[in-house]
Amino acid sequence: MVTDKQPRGNIIKVVAASMAGTAVEWYDFFLYGVAAAVVFPAVFFPSNDPAVGTLLALGTFAVGFVARPIGGLVFGHYGDKLGRKKLLVISLVAMGAATFAIGLLPGYATIGMRRRCCWWSCA
């Protein structure tokens, strides 16, 4: 009789690693959500109404939630082929790098469009 039971220590390691990865990922989403609600409207959308700026910033946050299932499918597929540990590290590094890159983005004051008289805005 062949049993496929793993030692209890291995299962605890897998669960702990999964929980740590999920906690880091959700913490990153939490930080981005707070920044999207508090900081991004003033930095990236100052020329709009404050409510519109907040909605635009939260719209970028929503894109992350829409992309999550797609990323789950892609990373799940490659995780089965290449190893879940390797893909977990890649996804966490990519998420951290993206968050860092957002911090490097210039604000509206640096690259924002200047108000010009255009055929659609000048009467």
pLDDT in tens, 40-76: 888 888 887 888 888 988 898 888 888 888 988 998 8
Give this prediction's pTM: 0.59
Mean pLDDT of the chain: 81
Q: Which are the contacts of 102, defined by CB distance < 8 A and separation ≥ 6?
A: 32, 35
> Nearest Cα to 25, choosing from 33, 36, 35?
33
pLDDT at residue 40 in the model: 85
Torsion 68-101-54-118 (CA) sign: negative
**Cα 107 to Cα 40: distance, rounded to the nearest angstrom:** 9
Torsion 53-61-37-40 (CA) sign: negative
Least confident of 16-20, 62-66, 108-112: 108-112
Domain boundaries, the chain: 8-103
